[in-house]
Structure 1
Amino acid sequence: MTAHIPTGRASAFQSLLDKVAERTAQVGVIGLGYVGLPLAAAVAKAGFGVIGFDIDTSKPEHIHAGRSYIPAVPNETLARLVQTGRLTATSDFALLSVCDVIAICVPTPLGPHREPDLTFVRSTSEAIARTLRPGQLVSLESTTYPGTTREILKPVLEAAGLVSGHDIFLGFSPEREDPGNSRYDTASIPKVVGGDGQEALALMEAFYGAVVESTVPVSSLETAEAVKITENVFRAVNIALANELKVIFTAMGVDVWEVIDAAKTKPFGYMPFYPGPGLGGHCIPVDPFYLSWKSREYDVTTRFIELAGEINVAMPRVVVDTLTTALDRQGGLPLGAARILLMGLAYKKNVADLRESPSLKLLELLRLRGARVDYHDPLIAQVPSTRNYPALEGLRSAALSAEVIADYDAVLIATDHDAVDYGQLARHAKLIVDTRNVMARAGYSGPRIVKA
């Protein structure tokens, strides 16, 4: 669809549209993590001046030094953008006043009872409101439930008397980053855009259209918000199905990975999803619960989605139970007396991203059962401060050698990084419990290798 702009509106819209077209609009990106920093780099490469904002003062320091902490933005790219003056970063939110376009890329985690925690969205809205002026476009990119932009962001921004669609303009464009995916980057992924009115939608199309290869305009803010949540609910539900099939087929003595690999040869009507130790990353473990929470406002029960969430959340305990049984069968060793090496702390292979990683839950569960647990991750040298696992902070990755591996009672593979020498594990581990089927893919099998 293409936005139709009524004539005779205030000059704020046309002035901003002209700035975007001429690449003279100053852009602010709030939140410089896995979404914000790649977006800031893409916008700067498109010819706009960009100011990145983050409450973590170390991030602006890294950026100004040309040291990237996000693999999707190489050091040389970051350094070049900083040196040319296209990109700068700060923790001074007063500088939002000079920004014509503001993109919000802050976390939207779950609370202790799996309810939406919009603390960062609210505090960011308040920070923007303090310097808000006519002629600014504010775009929320954080994954959330339909209605957030209109119900949370808009009232805060309009409280000072500026009117959305006349003085200021609001939009939603869901982030679609896939950390570790070398095929697609920020600029090559189609960008869904929605706006609060036709003028806002036109500005969203113009701005993002100048940055990415293609935009996908939709009819409303709520539709744009629903697109991202639909994408991730789809994945969560299908992964839950794969996890449940794993439990069923394992009880039957059938290899679920072999089943999936054979099923995916069908050229139509099937899409492969794979089981694992639980869901990780910011979006897939979170989005279904956001939608379930919001649906209660409309007296709608999301039984199917909630069941998928329950299955995925339960997988770390299934893995620990499998490990317990394998140890018992191997030599009667109870889990509470075992030394366990957890392979992989990141939530997915070949990234250093810990967000919602099931490995953290596995570490916690194993410790609660009395096991002595270390981990090895070639990309994460030390467990940082985390919201839900403060007891794990400071734990360091174990160095690997034949002697070290042989000293553990079991190796539990939670993340299948390519940098790991799986042949070394096969040769020296007493027991391997593999949640990713990586040993079979590497050509290793035998009684000491158990799939979980």
Structure 2
Amino acid sequence: MKHEPEDNHPLVAAIRDKQIKAGVIGLGYVGLPLAMSISRAGFHTLGFDIDTEKIVRIDKGKSYIEAVTDDVLAEETGSGRFCATTDFTRLKECDVIAICVPTPLTRYRDPDLSYVENTCREIAKTLRQGQLIVLESTTYPGTTEEVMRPILEGAGLRAGQDFYLGYSPEREDPGNREFNTSTIPKVVAGDGELASAMMRAFYGSVVETIVPVASVRTAEAVKLTENIFRAVNIALVNELKLVYDAMGIDVWDVIEAAKTKPFGYMPFYPGPGLGGHCIPIDPFYLTWKSREFEQPTRFIELAGEINTSMPRYVIEKLAEALDRRLGKALSRSRILIMGLAYKKNVPDIRESPSLRLMELLIERGAEVEYHDPFLDEVPRTREYGHLKGRRSVQAEADNLAGFDAAVIATDHDGVDYARLATHVPLVVDTRNVYARRSLAFDNIVKA
């Protein structure tokens, strides 16, 4: 890497020599693993969260995030390098502050930056000279400069002179054991040359590989591009699923054959809808911002429409199969949703299509239960508050026999799918579970 004059600046040298304290705001799926990586790299680290329950669990060395083990958490808290607090006045102790708070959508699918804005207001209360403030939350290009900077400068200090701004998009993938925060290449950018040097020094000490880019807007666009790429390609295979289903062709067979081509093709897979914090949300951040520049985003918006329509398609396939195979109306049926999480083998329900499936079934008059080995109870959510408190039912033979149909929405590995198909009259498979496991049953319908 080219050596820049700013690399010798005292602020950069202090970071490089680990003579600074770091702060991480938001100790969720992104923030807690990041805090552990920073602490394990040798920086004294403070974690901030408004959820007192999280702080209590951290103090006891009990992790609530799969990517952070109890042993790692206990080691870092026991070493004195890491501690967590709800006291945001302690932000003044931190030389580098990373913001890892949610960036959801409003009910009208516009960006909701209230968490970022409120966090910046808290930082502004104790903002001091020399601090580096970094946003890691996914957002549209311009957020760091247009939203964060004015709020922080309201404290009377000037960005680029008194304090410094940077952006480094999170790239967490819950449940992926092949990569972790330290091994995933990290895109970094600073608002100005000194801020860029501080970003390189800090993240270069925390992760194995950094990817510096020219501006914070570029870094903000990188994250959106990564997830829009996935959203559009998933929408494509979801649409192909509909077309091929009408033709009597199994889209899963098509994909398996197509991916044998060693060039020019990358497999994506259909499903009951999109879940997770990133892929269902990020495209709408760009479509919203693009209106400011009078640029159409028809391709991205169409992909969003296709993906959000998938839960309704699954319910229609279920209703049709119940009528044809069992002679029973959906409104008089008892349905089991298999899997509440948005992806397999994790307890993460953010934007999970399973919640939408349950809502649609309730609207159609069906009796609905769910089974998920990772989620005993439906937690509080912004859009599905009426589902809060519903508990996972047992997937034992006697219990399964009481359902008319099951919908496999999430293909957790630890489920006995043979038992499911043996005891439930109809199984709607949205994940191709039975074909992938070479399980043959006559009561399976793909959707």
* Superposed pair shares fold, TM > 0.5: yes
Q: Tell me if 1:435 matches 2:430.
A: yes
CA distance in 2, matches of 1:175, 1:2: 25
Shift of residue 446, structure 1, vs aligned partner:
3.3
CA distance in 2, matches of 1:74, 1:326: 43
Which residue type is aligned with residue 199 of structure 1? L
CA distance in 1, matches of 2:283, 2:117: 21
CA distance in 2, matches of 1:318, 1:115: 25
Q: Tell me if 1:398 matches 2:372.
A: no
Give the secondary-structure state (helix, strand or coil) at the position aligned to 1:407.
coil
Question: Any idea what the Cα deviations from partners look like across 1:11-43, whole Å, max 9, x if unmatched?
Answer: xx9332122112121000000000000000000
Q: Which residue of 1 aligns with 2:313?
A: 318
| Contact 2:6/2:12 (<8 A) preserved | no
Give the secondary-structure state (helix, strand or coil) at the position aligned to 1:216.
strand
Q: Tell me if 1:333 matches 2:331.
A: no
Q: Which residue of 2 aligns with 1:407?
A: 402
Q: Tell me if 1:175 matches 2:178.
A: no
Q: 2:376 aligns with which of 374, 381, 385?
A: 381
CA distance in 2, matches of 1:156, 1:5: 30
TM-score when normalising by structure 2? 0.98
| Contact 1:16/1:100 (<8 A) preserved | no
| Contact 1:426/1:444 (<8 A) preserved | no
Q: 1:259 aligns with which of 250, 254, 258?
A: 254
| Contact 1:339/1:371 (<8 A) preserved | yes
Shift of residue 6, structure 1, vs aligned partner:
6.0
CA distance in 2, matches of 1:367, 1:2: 60
Q: Tell me if 1:232 matches 2:227.
A: yes
Q: 2:136 aligns with which of 137, 141, 146?
A: 141
Shift of residue 441, structure 1, vs aligned partner:
1.0
Q: Structure 1, unaligned stretches of length 5 or more?
A: 8-12
CA distance in 1, matches of 2:375, 2:14: 42
CA distance in 2, matches of 1:331, 1:435: 20
Shift of the 2–120 alpha-carbon distance from structure 1 to 2, 3 Å rule, reads farther
Q: Which residue of 2 aligns with 1:355?
A: 350
CA distance in 2, matches of 1:100, 1:183: 31
CA distance in 1, matches of 2:3, 2:309: 45
Q: Which residue of 2 aligns with 1:305?
A: 300
| Contact 2:6/2:197 (<8 A) preserved | no
CA distance in 1, matches of 2:28, 2:11: 27
Q: 1:106 aligns with which of 98, 101, 105?
A: 101
CA distance in 2, matches of 1:202, 1:6: 6
| Contact 1:3/1:198 (<8 A) preserved | no
CA distance in 2, matches of 1:146, 1:396: 40
Identical pairs, percent:
61
RMSD: 1.1
Give the secondary-structure state (helix, strand or coil) at the position aligned to 2:311.
helix
Give the secondary-structure state (helix, strand or coil) at the position aligned to 1:373.
strand
Q: Which residue of 2 aligns with 1:131?
A: 126
| Contact 1:347/1:359 (<8 A) preserved | yes
Shift >3 Å, 4+ stretches: 1-7
| Contact 1:107/1:120 (<8 A) preserved | yes
CA distance in 1, matches of 2:228, 2:381: 25
CA distance in 2, matches of 1:4, 1:115: 40
Shift of residue 3, structure 1, vs aligned partner:
7.2
Q: Which residue of 1 aligns with 2:44?
A: 49
Q: How many matched pairs? A: 447
Q: 2:276 aligns with which of 275, 278, 281?
A: 281
Question: Any idea what the Cα deviations from partners look like across 1:145-188, whole Å, max 9, x if unmatched?
Answer: 00000000011111222121221110000000000000000000
CA distance in 1, matches of 2:270, 2:6: 51
CA distance in 1, matches of 2:179, 2:330: 42
CA distance in 1, matches of 2:106, 2:5: 40
Q: 2:414 aligns with which of 416, 419, 425?
A: 419
Q: Which residue of 1 aligns with 2:360?
A: 365
Q: Which residue of 1 aligns with 2:184?
A: 189
Shift of the 307–3 alpha-carbon distance from structure 1 to 2, 3 Å rule, reads farther
Q: Tell me if 1:450 matches 2:440.
A: no
Q: 1:241 aligns with which of 228, 236, 242?
A: 236
Give the secondary-structure state (helix, strand or coil) at the position aligned to 1:340.
strand
| Contact 1:342/1:374 (<8 A) preserved | yes
Q: Tell me if 1:151 matches 2:146.
A: yes
Q: Tell me if 1:272 matches 2:292.
A: no
Which residue type is aligned with residue 149 of structure 1? T
Shift of residue 442, structure 1, vs aligned partner:
1.4
Give the secondary-structure state (helix, strand or coil) at the position aligned to 1:210.
helix
Q: How does 1:9-20 map to 2 (within 5 A)?
A: 14-20=9-15
Shift of residue 203, structure 1, vs aligned partner:
0.5
| Contact 2:182/2:206 (<8 A) preserved | yes
Q: Tell me if 1:58 matches 2:49.
A: no
